[in-house]
Structure 1
């Protein structure tokens, strides 16, 4: 009787060949990091300087001045005294429980990561909206970025740049940037073609159409993308702490390794408080801008 047991076994590459491929790829990347690591590191020096300056500004400034500034920014974005009061109460509790400095460090990292994601992501989203070819090229890359486990981002970044603030920022930006790119592309593509035709009829060139019509009308969708990016960046804080990013993530990581339940809970709640504040403020700003745009259209 014929033996068909081989059919149940999946054909796989010879182990020695697989090891050779792995060794070659690992060696190539290691050689690249040794040869160009210093050059790449020096390229990010201005970012590191800005990060250190911004963190010192938040940590060393009087707590009441930082609290007033954050509350004022939240109120300007949301025009909600309830949310502003929630910010005051949250930050007073954070300070009372001894988490002020870590929260300021986390706030500085998240702010810089969000700004970088916006500066890089919005132009890429605009390019995707203007070109179907660019969209077809970038979309699979975004799919990979969103489905790849977050820990995997840390490996090449640490090999190139070591541990510290800059590798952490790069890993967070890579992880968090896809939503702002996708929703910028979507928002611009959803702009009514009749509105664009009217703008063209009035003599607007492509840049004027983009800046004066497409981006303002797409701003609520873009703001939704920024909101998601902030949430994902905050979710990456604990993982980024594994490569030396100081802030609320490090006590959480310490609590996991040493089984300190209360330490992890308090710092986790501080991250949640930041997430809620960012979320509510950005959503309120998006709603206000949408109402403003609709009011302008009706006028």
Structure 2
């Protein structure tokens, strides 16, 4: 038997949501339309190229991006050929479009905030609390506000993915800049560089390997979120995995899951080998 009065948290949240929709519904609609245009544009661009040509171009691009690593290029071609052979090409391109969109948005927010946190201890303390909260929150919880404000479909899936994938990129950008040797900063100051010149010509180049590790983790988290986001209507390979679970279709779910793993391995190998003097673990 409950002895204390129940706090009206649920009613307060509903009132807040209603207020936001009344006064900022136009902004939410604009964000939704912009994200839908972005995903559709990436998907149309990817599907515009026939699959065989895309596979060849992807293998060539990976070969040069990874500093002429032929093994990764060949494995990329084999993996994409397998996805095409499993008749999952269109779904894979949609998943790829969702991951690209979410990753770009996450990095556009995370990297500037990471740079600001590295130069401002007060902001760093505030962001650290927020990042701890975000990284300890169960991933399914991110779906609730996304559904409340954006309904069902690809757009709320992107929103949830962006929030889920941001923390590593923000943390590692902050860490990379803070770990720059003080003598380099002193030399830059001695030559009279402005804060912007110091950031562009000294701090970012030196911190780039650490920042790229954050980019890698951001992409991996975005891909891992594709299956969870399918629960709120995000399409692509993740939705096929969810259907396989719901229908106990082991074969279909395994094939879609394998395609996600292939895409993850390709993106992981590329981002880990894209910088010079950096070896894969």
Q: Same fold (TM over 0.5)?
A: yes
Q: Displacement of 1:111 after TM fit?
A: 1.1
- Residue in 1 aligned with 2:251? 262
1:242-284 Cα deviation digits (max 9, x unpaired)? 2221110011000111111111111111111111111111111
Contact between 2:118 and 2:175, CA under 8 Å: does it hold in 1?
Answer: yes
Secondary structure of the 1:83 match is helix
1:81-125 Cα deviation digits (max 9, x unpaired)? 110000100011111011111111111111111111221111000
Structure 1 residues 189, 107: closer, same or farther in 2, change over 3 A? same
- Residue in 2 aligned with 1:162? 151
Structure 1 CA distance, aligned partners of 2:96 and 2:111?
Answer: 22
Structure 2 CA distance, aligned partners of 1:215 and 1:48?
Answer: 32
Q: Displacement of 1:151 after TM fit?
A: 1.4
- Residue in 1 aligned with 2:224? 235
- Residue in 1 aligned with 2:204? 215
Counterparts of residues 1-299 of structure 1 (less than 5 Å): 14=4, 16-18=5-7, 20-79=8-67, 80-286=69-275, 288=276
Gapped regions of structure 1 (runs ≥ 5): 1-11, 292-299
Q: Displacement of 1:47 after TM fit?
A: 2.8
TM-score (norm 2): 0.93
Q: Displacement of 1:34 after TM fit?
A: 4.6
- Superposed CA RMSD in Å reads 1.7
Q: Displacement of 1:194 after TM fit?
A: 0.2
1:146-165 Cα deviation digits (max 9, x unpaired)? 11111111111111111122
Structure 2 CA distance, aligned partners of 1:202 and 1:250?
Answer: 55
Q: Displacement of 1:39 after TM fit?
A: 2.8
Q: How many residues align?
A: 277
**Structure 1 residue runs of 4 or more that deviate by more than 4 Å after TM superposition:** none
Gapped regions of structure 2 (runs ≥ 5): none
Structure 1 CA distance, aligned partners of 2:192 and 2:72?
Answer: 43
Contact between 2:245 and 2:253, CA under 8 Å: does it hold in 1?
Answer: yes
Structure 2 CA distance, aligned partners of 1:30 and 1:58?
Answer: 38
Q: Larger Rg: 1 or 2?
A: 1
Contact between 2:99 and 2:219, CA under 8 Å: does it hold in 1?
Answer: yes
Contact between 1:151 and 1:239, CA under 8 Å: does it hold in 2?
Answer: yes
Structure 1 residues 60, 21: closer, same or farther in 2, change over 3 A? same
Structure 1 residues 69, 120: closer, same or farther in 2, change over 3 A? farther
1:20-61 Cα deviation digits (max 9, x unpaired)? 332222233234235433431213423321211111121242
Q: Displacement of 1:72 after TM fit?
A: 2.6
Structure 2 CA distance, aligned partners of 1:34 and 1:242?
Answer: 27
Once structures 1 and 2 are overlaid, which stretch shifts more, 251-260 or 112-121?
112-121
